[in-house]
Structures are given as structure tokens and as C-alpha cells.
Structure 1
């Protein structure tokens, strides 16, 4: 059983899969409370539904295309131990699976077939010291690392992180905090510094989708 905030079908908006249709499973509960969090409704299990793995799979089968892309997000999905059972069932069902995680909980047991999108928290989040450095051992070429940037300090933090850590993936995303840092300003910084990173834009919000 898992505490589920929402299951819905929308456009993937924030990763290298941006623009593709995607089934989302938003788990409830988070161990962080970032200053810019835009999914506060998923921070606790207060308003969540408790669903079995079979019920979740059944809901997925009734939305969108039969198979395709599915993202497990939160909250922080890895807080719930049963998420590993969900991983296995989704793999059996033939989905291409994305996991969005804040990087504070060990990724050791996440199956290799899962594409991990690891959000490394910058200072303005209030939790830049919470990242579990060991997790870089479990980030592979197919995985992605994301920095959500709201201040000049955040930008410098992200740049420094990239120069001081040997990463196995080249899929690095810099995404501006909505309503605080204009994406254009962030783009200009990236161009000025010649960074080999992807500018992340919340496509689903531009389209006014979930």
C-alpha cells in the first residue's frame, strides 16, 4: 500500500523527456520543505489516499496510452518502502519509468531500469546540506541531475558542484525557480559561462497543465 496524492496524465515538463505525454504518480509525504515548493499538497499524507499496487496499476491502464512514460514523483517517493514493489510492477508492465527524488535518501536499491532525476538542493531551498553524496555512485549515464536555481548563490553553488564532483551523467539541468528568477536571466548566465547544461523550463506550467 502507498499513500498517493494524485495520479494523472499530462505533459512531462521538466526533464530531458519534456514535451512527451506522461502518466504521473504523485506520492504523498516529504522529508524536506523547500522554500519554493510548488506541490505543498503532497508534503504530508493528510489528504492522501492509501492505494494498493494493483489499484495504482489499474488506474494507470485507464488513462492515456496503454504503455509509455510514467513518472513517480512526490513529495519524496523513496520515503515509502512499498515504492520498490511499485517499481517492480511497472517494470513488468513495460513502462519507461522516471523517478524524481531529492537525493537525500539512498538510491542503492533503485532498479537500474529506473531513470533517476535527482534534484540537488541549492541554498535557497534551505536544504543544500542534506544531499547524500553517496548517491552519486548510483547515478548512471541515463540518469539526470537537476538544480533548481533561485539566487546568484544558488547558481554559484551549482557551478561549484559540477566542478568538484565527477558525474557519470552528462544530463544536467538548471531550472529557474518560478516567479523568482526569470528563465531568460538564467539562460544568459549559462551562455556567458559556456556551461554544458540544459535549461529547464516548466513546460506544463506554460501550458497551464498539472
Structure 2
């Protein structure tokens, strides 16, 4: 039976993506091959509790919620994440996965909504972007760029244009909390008339950096 290392399973409001505001059960898997400068879930790098897929479903079922997000860490770093995603879709959940974009997404069940990062230079992991993944995304998916400063913004704007990201699917620009003032990013987007969605992390506005919220 498939077993995964799980950091936490919790019930909250979706704080990002086009599903923002929906009550959602989050399955945070342990482990990540990246070390982004601004990472806010470093507690998921190691450890975790071994759980099989049935146990994960039992925990999710407690909340009576139809939205489930599998996140990390980097959830795709665990090979058993793939059958977990399939099982969640089979169970009728509206399932999404949040991934760094550094690993191959080709085997993700087509019913799953993918929220994929493109790492900016400010992350310290820009060389890990797997650009081949862009051709695997569809309109149900989203691309997210986390912006730490003006240099990140200019780099992201160039990728948006050169790679025609907005022609692939919806693109999100989000400021790094505590590093870039949200109003600055909002003003830049408006000044340049970028075809992107400005995003703040709703859960951080409500609960700060509390794990499990």
C-alpha cells in the first residue's frame, strides 16, 4: 500500500490561486529538494509522519470539505504523491497540487488543477525551473511567480512576454511578505498593464505565519 511522509493535514481557507477563499483541506507532504530564500514552510523539509493513502483519506473526510490541496515542501518529490492525487480525484474531491515547477509534472492526473511556480532570481533557485513543464499546463492550471524586489519583477515581466505565459494559462504575481510592499507590486502591474492576477496570501492576512492555518 502507498505510504507518504505527511507533515500535517489541516482545514483552512484557500489563501492563494483562483480557489482563494474556499474552505479547503490541505495535505502537506514532507521534503523538498529546493531551498528558496523566502520559504515559509521550512518546517516541512524533514520529518513527517508515515501515512498510507487510506489514512490520509480518513483524515480528510473528518472535515466534510470538497476542496483538497496537496502541497509541501515539494509534494512531487515523493513518488507516492501521484497515486494519492488519483485517489483524491476518484473520491470526487476538487483536487489541486502546489508544485515548485522543478520536477516533471507530466504524470499528474489531468483532473488535478496544477498551481506551478516559476522561481525568480530572488528565490535563489531560478536555475531549477523546468521550462518543459509549461507545455504540459492547460487552462485549468495556474502559474505563480513570487516577487521579492524590482529586479525579480523585471525578470518576471520578461518571462511573461518572452514565453507568452498568459497565453498558456492564468498567471499570478505575489509579493514576498516582509520584503516587497504589496502596493509597490500592484502599482508596477498597473503601470505596465500586465495580464496577470495580483495575489496576496489570504491565510497570512488572517492568521500570520501560524502552521496549520
| Equivalent residue number for residue 32 of structure 1 | 34
Please list the CA deviations of residues 125-169 of structure 1 after superposition, one character each: whole Å capped at 9, or x if unmatched. 001111111101111111000000011111011101111113453
Question: After the TM superposition, which residues 114-133 of structure 1 pair with which residues of structure 2 at under 5 Å, given as runs?
Answer: 114-133=112-131
Structure 2 residue 87 is the aligned partner of structure 1 residue 89: yes
Structure-1 separation of matches of 2:107 and 2:22:
27
- How many residue pairs get matched? 206
- Conservation of the 8 A alpha-carbon contact between 1:23 and 1:64: no
Question: After the TM superposition, which residues 64-103 of structure 1 pair with which residues of structure 2 at under 5 Å, given as runs?
Answer: 64-65=64-65, 68-103=66-101
Match of 2:9 among 7, 10, 13: 7
| Equivalent residue number for residue 55 of structure 1 | 55
| Equivalent residue number for residue 105 of structure 1 | 103
| Equivalent residue number for residue 191 of structure 1 | 190
Structure 1, unaligned runs of 5 or more: none
Please list the CA deviations of residues 48-96 of structure 1 after superposition, one character each: whole Å capped at 9, or x if unmatched. 100000000000001243xx11100000000101111101110111001
Question: After the TM superposition, which residues 159-178 of structure 1 pair with which residues of structure 2 at under 5 Å, given as runs?
Answer: 159-167=157-165, 168-178=167-177
Structure-2 separation of matches of 1:62 and 1:156:
44
Structure-2 separation of matches of 1:51 and 1:170:
34
Match of 1:17 among 1, 13, 19: 19
Structure-1 separation of matches of 2:52 and 2:99:
21
Please list the CA deviations of residues 9-45 of structure 1 after superposition, one character each: whole Å capped at 9, or x if unmatched. 000001111111101000000010101000010112x
| Equivalent residue number for residue 151 of structure 1 | 149
Secondary structure of the equivalent of 1:90?
helix
TM-score, length-scaled by structure 2 = 0.94
| Superposition deviation, residue 182 in structure 1 | 1.1
Structure 2 residue 202 is the aligned partner of structure 1 residue 200: no
Structure 2, unaligned runs of 5 or more: none
Could you say if the C-alpha distance between residues 64 and 9 of structure 1 is closer, same or farther in structure 2, counting changes exceeding 3 Å?
Answer: farther
